[in-house]
């Protein structure tokens, strides 16, 4: 049944590919203009529609720049935000918008990096212009374009593409048949490739070998599990006791929810039930009441992803529905297992003399 459905979608995938390739050709032939920002730009994106671990990697890059004395500015579209136009999410001192108006991933980046400037806009060039005017007295050291591999209107000093090692690589298909936004061959547009979510080095070897044929440097990374943070009691308090024995209901609205549950179980968390929503699917009172009801009936604590927590945080009335029970979110981060020195060198080269000694 699945294969028959894929065959029906294939013509739409071929049409989508033709449109994407035509657009890329127009950029390659310089028929579409590329704007240069007065601030150096690092673009981070992927070829597939979500699930690559891009947001934690953006967070890692932001934290690296802050650690070497640089002031980064993040530009994002703020996917599924309710606001419109150019909005300042954080001025590098204070977070100004909730996830409802900033987008869940963008809000998470802002809260986790209070020293970074964060701006959302449908058109990233307008966001970059806003930053240069609004912070003209003290410009940020670097602009980080989030989810921008397909965005080619702005020139970037460093173009990073992220690949998910757990997804089909050699048999990947274009949207809507598969999850590719553009053909795999376009990975050569990247200056640096990150193969992320490696769970087994041996099974990832064929993909690594294929990526190395592009002549682009390949950084290898896996997901590092962080702490479980309780948010039903004191905010940001970590509770490790009884987590291995307390039964949990896991819920998430991300691209690869199964990997979230697997990560929890690998850490010894006793996940006995789960509820999955679609990636970025809005939470509603009805959906959360259903999750809460199941947890009540089975006597379960609740656990979700950090991104889902920030999505709900934009609507306090939704948080209140589930926090009568113990609730946790799981922090994750990239764990770079090969190529970290090269990655840091390339990031430092972008900002040059701005790096502290």
Does a cis peptide bond (omega within 30 degrees of 0) precede residue 166?
no
* pLDDT tens for each residue of 272-288: 999 999 887 889 999 99
Question: Quick check: 245 pLDDT over 70?
Answer: no
* pLDDT tens for each residue of 332-356: 999 999 999 999 999 999 998 666 5
For residues 243 and 342, membership in a common domain is answered with no
- Average pLDDT of the segment spanning 297-307: 93
- Integer-rounded Cα Rg, in Å, for the chain is 21
With cut-offs at 50, 70 and 90, classify the pLDDT of residue 228.
confident
For residues 136 and 263, membership in a common domain is answered with no
- Structure confidence at residue 92 (pLDDT): 97
What mean pLDDT value characterizes the chain?
90
For residues 217 and 236, membership in a common domain is answered with no
For residues 181 and 81, membership in a common domain is answered with yes
Give the CATH number of the domain where residue 23 resides. 3.40.50.300
With cut-offs at 50, 70 and 90, classify the pLDDT of residue 243.
low
Give the CATH number of the domain where residue 318 resides. 3.40.50
For residues 167 and 285, membership in a common domain is answered with no
Domain of residue 245 covers: 224-333
For residues 37 and 140, membership in a common domain is answered with yes
* pLDDT tens for each residue of 91-147: 999 999 999 899 999 999 999 999 999 999 999 999 999 999 999 999 999 999 999
Distances (CA, A) of 246 to 249, 260, 269, 338: 10, 18, 8, 36
Question: Quick check: 198 pLDDT over 90?
Answer: yes
Q: Strands, DSSP E only, in the chain?
A: 41-46, 72-76, 87-91, 117-120, 142-146, 158-164, 192-196, 218-230, 237-238, 247-252, 270-276, 301-305, 327-338
Residues 6+ apart with CB under 8 A from 192: 158, 159, 160, 161, 216, 217, 219, 342, 343, 346
- Structure confidence at residue 236 (pLDDT): 39
As a whole number of angstroms, the distance between CA 49 and CA 181 comes to 6
For residues 84 and 182, membership in a common domain is answered with yes
Structurally, how many domains does the chain consist of? 2
- Structure confidence at residue 356 (pLDDT): 58
For residues 15 and 160, membership in a common domain is answered with yes
- Packing angle, helices 104-112 and 54-67, rounded to 10: 30
Question: Quick check: 62 pLDDT over 50?
Answer: yes
């Amino acid at each position: 049944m699945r294969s028959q459905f894929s065959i029906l979608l294939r013509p739409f995938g071929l049409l989508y590919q033709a449109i994407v390739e035509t657009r890329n050709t127009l950029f390659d032939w310089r028929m579409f203009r590329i704007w240069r920002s007065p601030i150096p730009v690092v673009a981070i994106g992927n070829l597939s529609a979500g699930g690559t671990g891009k947001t934690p990697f953006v967070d890692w890059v932001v934290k690296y720049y802050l650690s070497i004395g640089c002031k980064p500015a993040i530009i994002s579209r703020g996917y599924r935000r309710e606001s419109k136009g150019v909005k300042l999410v954080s001025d590098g001192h204070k977070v100004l918008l909730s996830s409802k108006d900033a987008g869940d991933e963008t809000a998470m980046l802002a809260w986790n990096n209070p020293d970074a400037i964060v701006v959302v806009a449908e058109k990233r060039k307008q966001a970059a212009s806003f930053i240069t005017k609004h912070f003209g007295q003290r410009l940020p050291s670097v602009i980080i374009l989030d989810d921008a591999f397909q965005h080619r209107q702005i020139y970037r000093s460093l173009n990073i593409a992220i690949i998910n090692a757990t997804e089909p690589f050699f048999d990947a298909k274009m949207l809507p048949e598969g999850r590719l936004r553009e053909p795999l061959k376009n990975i050569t547009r990247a200056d640096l490739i990150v193969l992320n979510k490696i769970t087994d080095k041996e099974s990832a070897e064929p993909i690594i070998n294929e990526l190395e044929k592009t002549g682009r440097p390949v950084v290898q990374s896996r997901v590092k599990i962080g702490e479980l943070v309780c948010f039903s009691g004191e905010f940001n308090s970590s509770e490790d006791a009884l987590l291995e024995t307390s039964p949990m209901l896991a819920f998430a609205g991300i691209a690869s929810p199964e990997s979230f549950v697997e990560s929890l179980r690998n850490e010894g968390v006793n996940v006995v039930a789960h509820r999955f929503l679609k990636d970025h699917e809005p939470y509603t009172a009805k959906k959360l009441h259903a999750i809460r009801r199941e947890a009540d009936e089975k006597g379960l604590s609740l656990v979700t992803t950090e991104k889902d927590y920030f999505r709900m945080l934009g609507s306090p009335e939704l948080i209140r529905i589930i926090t009568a029970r113990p609730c946790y979110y799981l922090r994750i981060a990239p764990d770079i297992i090969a190529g970290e020195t090269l990655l840091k060198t390339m990031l430092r080269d972008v900002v040059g003399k701005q790096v502290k000694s």
